[in-house]
Amino acid sequence: MKRPTIGLGRLLGIRIELDYSWFLVFALLTWSLATGYYTQSLPGTPALGTWGLGALSAVLLFGSVLLHELGHALVARRDHVPVRRITLFLFGGVAELGAEPAGPLAELRIALAGPAVSLALAVLFAVLQALAGPTPLRALFALLASINGTLALFNLLPGYPLDGGRVVRAALWGLTHDVARATRVAARLGQGIAYLFVMLGAWEILLGNLGGLWLALIGWFLAGAASAQVTQQRLHDLLAGHRVAEAMSRDYTAIPGDRTLQQLVDEEVLGRTQRCFMVEQDGETLGLLTLHDITAVPRSAWPSTSAAQAMRPAALLRTTSPDADLWLALEAMQRDGVNQLPVLADHHTLGLLSRDGVITFLRTRRKLGA
Ligand SMILES: [Zn+2]
């Protein structure tokens, strides 16, 4: 399920979103820079000054990460890989690509674009630091130079999904022509590096250095991302080559548009635990009504609201077709945060593909030894 984010608008046509975890990091970073770095490097500066510089640095770090991700995104777009969005979160950002790069060379270019931007920013801030007159500005530029340098180096660590891991993946992909295996190996390396970070962090904490907490947190976060990639790849391998028709359910519940929500809840939801209905008229699909849509209407309005009024109309629904690739359909559900897709052919519903349905499909196949 996609995490909730805040939309920041578009930059060069690319949607920029902010994960809520970023606010926590912003606060922590401002605090640690104000009371640590700026208090030490600018002795005698009033608290307002160090806190102001701390907050400014955190915002500029945010800008640096954004430029890093834009580097990936713009090169991806030039390589004809669609960019869905850039999300900025806890320890950096992700430029979410809408497709796999066409080949290992494109993957390599996209992977290296981010660290190249960070490296260029590090050089730029180092030059600015040398040119700047006032001490606070010099301290700010020095910090940004080192942060961007660290960003470039950290991202080049050879574990997927870090950029360096993508470089490894591109190299293995080019050598073996097996993208699935390349992803698996790169993601396992990513898990290894992540556990190393956690252990190093724990060691530092044991030695009394609380800075180890950052290392451990980064490692823990990386481990999650690498494991998600391993799982995702395994799922891909299992579903690749299968069609939506194989996993969809044909016994969905069709209802007429004039049924009231109260009737539905009394007769279908409570009695038969149905959670999802296709609203149909004369065999034509009008829309989809889920339990979520019903609960979005105040309970007192259930007797007077019809299914057609509360449903999501067919024109606004993402749907799939029986011949569609099962893996791509599942990806679309994950991306949109929905649990089911109506399977349509010629405006007629043939069935419903649900995440549960995909899991059942996989279980059945394993039981049958397929
Ligand atoms: Zn990157």
| Residue 105 scores a pLDDT above 90 | yes
Per-domain residue ranges for the chain? 5-239, 244-367
Residue 94 pLDDT grade (very low, low, confident, very high; cuts 50, 70, 90): confident
* CATH level 2 (architecture), domain 244-367: Roll (3.10)
Mean pLDDT of the chain: 85
For residue range 68-78, what is the model confidence (pLDDT) as tens digits?
A: 999 999 999 99
Tell how far the Cα of 238 is from the centroid of ligand 1, in angstroms. Answer: 28
φ and ψ of 58, to 5 deg: -65, -40
Overall average pLDDT of the 194-199 stretch:
91
Enumerate the active-site residues.
Answer: 69
Residue 1 pLDDT grade (very low, low, confident, very high; cuts 50, 70, 90): very low
Tell how far the Cα of 115 is from the centroid of ligand 1, in angstroms. Answer: 6
Residue spans of alpha helices (H) in the chain: 21-32, 38-41, 47-78, 104-131, 135-155, 163-176, 179-206, 212-239, 244-247, 261-264, 270-272, 291-295, 307-310, 326-336, 355-367
Tell how far the Cα of 174 is from the centroid of ligand 1, in angstroms. Answer: 20
| pLDDT number for residue 71 | 93
This prediction has a pTM of 0.72
For residue range 286-331, what is the model confidence (pLDDT) as tens digits?
A: 888 888 888 888 888 888 888 888 888 877 888 888 888 888 888 8
Tell how far the Cα of 108 is from the centroid of ligand 1, in angstroms. Answer: 12
Is residue 326 within 8 A of residue 320, CB to CB? The reply is no
